Structure 1
């Protein structure tokens, strides 16, 4: 039996739009006109009248943190209360009252951004969190994920004092010579290590929560960095959680795991255990080795080639020194693994490009698909090197919604003028996929598409920032479908509505090709299908 969908506006991955497609056994077997599709009808087939609705391939978020999204959904929702520091503290108090901590459990929150505070103009510190509780340990993570703040109770448990050495690749915040509760990048690791880790059933519940959220956004594929969420949990246990959900029929997002290891020895252990890119099946498979090169622009920890324009005391923080970065990228490449390296600052990007070029020179490989994650602050010479090295770029257009407010202030006008140049890269043949880096941002694909098309902020329409870098609607859709599939070596089986491809698709409430650019974010998701089966439905068809 097959299902015939007709009378729609169907984007197959090419224009013009067509009207219909047919699904059988979880794959597309036809795409074309309604008349042609109905000619395939046989006894027992199911007919679905799309009533003019727009359909495209299921969305593919090519860089995010699925497990961490599920974890965050169980925390205090600080992203919804970051307009004032006072509101953030009230949110924590309310959450603690509604969810009392027991057996030493910490109060956790994520999503704050001090740039949005209207009552103060600074990051929170331990004294602020002490107003919520001095008995329950509290940890709140900035939206970017590169800074956190704890209260005095947590500092006591951690044994952090003025004498604690500053870690490599990170920083412990100090005020008047004493810890202020702020931790940046690698300094965050001991904090997370002190927080009780969940068991495998809790991991599975986090994944289920995240999958439901992603399906509601039209997402059917996730390229996700999960091994770093709980460093004390072996990567094999994270894989086990996914495999058990898959076996139970509860994994409703196709997962390509971007394998993040904190140390060279951990990476070597993964390689020795047989880790390889592409291992697995259509629902769960191993992707690239994920390496974090630097911090974030918002927290001023992205590594720039010059001091920050609004804080000349710093150029940012490298997570690894250059030698270690080479020692991680080189062996991964030599063993046939794909790599995806986080680089936000241009100085970090120099290090990454040098390491990749050295690895490729030592062990040439044509179709390596090594990637740069974020690729935000860039110079023209670096864009040319990315093209020449045949790299992939994992972009996040949704970052423009916030970064437009800060990019010139942080990086300076000259460097900002050649940054976020994803359209330039595309025009020179570089494949640029799109994502959210969720939970840094919400996994809102339609908002990401709008930012890609308009290069303005979502609410106050600030911009456009570098309008020559605007994507067309088709390019934006492709960046969340076709380009994402190519990033994971899956372009022959997903990302299009075409015969033989996996029948993952999303039905939208409006045709984005006909919508006003500033209203793309408002287009609702009507239904999401994985292998021809509904995993989210806002309205019954």
Structure 2
């Protein structure tokens, strides 16, 4: 049992109450109030010295195993030119004696040349087999030595450009499968535990892991299903497959995510599906990976099996396709509390927002995209024009009573709820900024709702898990422009200390 006092506990409950005392017992909250009950007097009290405490955060969309996998490799976010790339690769190879170098996060929008390097560029840098994944996780590039390791099947797959060494579409996923085999299982498992600790430092106590890509035989699913009981966070797995037999065999209650259940691509590769063409190419409307008929069939079958369905849709045409499919399934079998999810939902017009609200579809968004160094706003404006004003209109979404939660899409962005809250309160389109409390809800009670976990997580209430994030300041009493500067002092998950800033 632990007694915490002299703090501002922001409960995030329905009444939006705050308290100064919280008592934990066996990992759950057993009391909240402003005075310590007499029966607890005489016990040890932890004085929090006026700090502010929030419920543990949730990340409602990340690729946890892939993020762990890439964290064991070379982080190339922020690289500005080929000389920096060379320095990073050479330093990594000097200190990491792996047979293959796997890098992640390189953005052509930050490079001086404004395009991905080619295999000839990489050949001049290193002779170690090297595979680099683009920042958005939808493309990659390799040097000749890595390409020579690949089988003919991969090199003949759609999307591989031999003369540049670049991988897109199916060839990218097959190359990623091959790259993942080059990392030992022990190394991968170690990186998973390291990543769990990293997420704890950011206050994350529960997450939605979208898995089932980048590893042969769905190895990532098997690993996470086995290890999740030993990790710090409560993990809900979303299997990225359209094969519902796999879902049934593993007794999952959720299906979807990105990749195999993605309706379109992304802005970075100019293949997010749009109702109007890209600003810089009047012939390009992006790509839809499903016909409406095929998507309707998949969603209906999953819906009839009472599964929760989550679908990647970035462009407005893809979002419309997702809404159509959910509408079709709900017309055949109404399910008021289905909590189906559209992931990303980046480009939203008024009509789509109204339809989403009417169908009670939930959204798993990533406010990190609003100020993403790897995909800057000037690039988005160059390809979308004035439609950049429609990217994640948070205030309008909430005004339409849509449940919306936040996440990172890691490894695309590093999980950081504090920064995500900051972006939500400081939207590039000022009138779409939301309140601090709503920004917190996106990582707490609304995040819990997306996973049917609001009875155990997401708010500080008696009977719920004692997941606490202790901050140096109260986010509700500082300027919204300073939210990014909040410091996490201590994190508890189920009443146990998992992170202390002073240690």
TM-score, normalisation: structure 1: 0.86
Q: Match of 2:234?
A: 254
- Structure 1's 229 and 512: CA in aligned 2 closer, same or farther, altered over 3 A? farther
SS at 1:141 equivalent: strand
Q: Match of 1:132?
A: 125
Q: 2:391 aligns with which of 412, 415, 419?
A: 419
Q: Match of 1:343?
A: 313
> Is 2:356 the counterpart of 1:380?
no
1:341-367 Cα offsets, whole Å, 9 max, x none, are 111011111221111111222222111
> Is 2:415 the counterpart of 1:443?
yes
Deviation at 1:429, TM superposition (A): 1.1
Q: 1:146 aligns with which of 132, 135, 138?
A: 138
> Is 2:503 the counterpart of 1:533?
no
SS at 1:180 equivalent: coil
Q: Match of 1:368?
A: 338
Deviation at 1:40, TM superposition (A): 4.3
For residues 91 and 9 of structure 2, the distance between their equivalents in structure 1, rounded to whole angstroms, comes to: 46
Deviation at 1:107, TM superposition (A): 0.9
For residues 180 and 50 of structure 2, the distance between their equivalents in structure 1, rounded to whole angstroms, comes to: 51
- Structure 1's 296 and 128: CA in aligned 2 closer, same or farther, altered over 3 A? same
For residues 74 and 57 of structure 1, the distance between their equivalents in structure 2, rounded to whole angstroms, comes to: 30
Matches within 5 A, 1:118-517: 119-134=112-127, 136-158=128-150, 164=156, 166=158, 171-173=159-161, 178-197=162-181, 201-234=186-219, 237-243=222-228, 246=229, 250-261=230-241, 264=242, 267-273=243-249, 275-277=251-253, 287-290=254-257, 291-402=261-372, 403-413=376-386, 415-455=387-427, 465-517=428-480
Question: Greater CA deviation, 293-302 or 500-509?
Answer: 293-302
For residues 246 and 220 of structure 2, the distance between their equivalents in structure 1, rounded to whole angstroms, comes to: 9
- Structure 1's 349 and 63: CA in aligned 2 closer, same or farther, altered over 3 A? same
Q: Match of 2:28?
A: 27
- Structure 1's 384 and 199: CA in aligned 2 closer, same or farther, altered over 3 A? same
**Are 2:345 and 2:392, in contact at CA under 8 Å, matched by a contact in 1?**
yes
For residues 157 and 321 of structure 1, the distance between their equivalents in structure 2, rounded to whole angstroms, comes to: 35
Deviation at 1:372, TM superposition (A): 0.5
Deviation at 1:527, TM superposition (A): 0.9
For residues 115 and 53 of structure 1, the distance between their equivalents in structure 2, rounded to whole angstroms, comes to: 40
For residues 321 and 477 of structure 2, the distance between their equivalents in structure 1, rounded to whole angstroms, comes to: 43
Q: How many residues align?
A: 494
**Are 1:82 and 1:114, in contact at CA under 8 Å, matched by a contact in 2?**
no
CA-atom RMSD in angstroms: 2.2
1:146-175 Cα offsets, whole Å, 9 max, x none, are 111111222333356999363xxxx334xx
Q: Which runs of 5+ in 2 are unaligned?
A: none
- Structure 1's 24 and 123: CA in aligned 2 closer, same or farther, altered over 3 A? same
- Structure 1's 319 and 124: CA in aligned 2 closer, same or farther, altered over 3 A? farther
Deviation at 1:305, TM superposition (A): 1.7
TM-score, normalisation: structure 2: 0.93
